[in-house]
């Protein structure tokens, strides 16, 4: 019979130790409440990071008639993600996704329903999709 009392005390002490740690962590979490500030008069225009937006007025926009940029826009895949264009120069066709470079020098920075905007250094080149004949 004395062995059962000893086993009962050992078993209860093993169970009381984790229960005590859980109760301690519960009280600790009550003491560490997050500080919530009231946000009033929130202006979303102040939150915009305008440094990542490309402003066309900061760049020189060149049209399609430049000698170094003589590509023809033949296809557009326009969407919220992974927009791409198909351009043609001579008898070669190139598929360029948003953010990729065309022949290593012209970066595709914007795709709209009817045109695409490429960037090389400080110059921007806009090409429009040809109308179906």
Q: Where are the chain's structural domains?
A: 58-128
Q: Which residue has the higher pLDDT, 3 or 131?
A: 3
101 closest CA partner among 114, 120, 116, 88: 120
* CATH number of the 58-128 domain: 2.30.30.830
Is there a contact between 96 and 77 (Cβ–Cβ < 8 Å)? no
Residue 47 pLDDT level (bands cut at 50, 70, 90): low
pLDDT in tens, 50-103: 444 555 555 555 444 455 678 888 888 877 777 888 888 888 888 888 888 888
Using a cut of 0.75, tell me whether the model's pTM lies above it.
no
Express each pLDDT in 26-44 by its tens digit. 988 888 877 777 767 666 6
Integer Cα distance of 24 and 34 in angstroms: 18
Residues 20, 25, 30: CA angle, nearest 5 degrees:
130
Contact between 94 and 106 (Cβ < 8 Å): no
- Confidence band (pLDDT; 50, 70, 90) for 16? very high
Contact 111, 95 (CB under 8 A): no
Whether 132 shows a pLDDT value over 70: the answer reads no
């Amino acid at each position: 019979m004395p062995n059962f009392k000893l086993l009962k005390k050992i078993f209860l002490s093993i169970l009381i130790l984790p229960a005590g740690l859980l109760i301690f962590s519960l009280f600790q979490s009550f003491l560490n409440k997050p500080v919530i500030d009231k946000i009033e008069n929130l202006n979303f225009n102040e939150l915009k990071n305008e440094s990542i937006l490309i402003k066309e007025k900061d760049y020189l926009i060149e049209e399609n008639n430049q000698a170094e940029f003589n590509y023809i826009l033949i296809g557009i895949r326009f969407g919220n993600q992974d927009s791409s264009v198909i351009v043609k120069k001579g008898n070669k066709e190139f598929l360029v996704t948003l953010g990729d470079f065309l022949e290593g020098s012209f970066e595709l920075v914007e795709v709209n329903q009817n045109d695409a905007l490429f960037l090389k250094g400080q110059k921007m080149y806009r090409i429009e999709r040809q109308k179906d004949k």
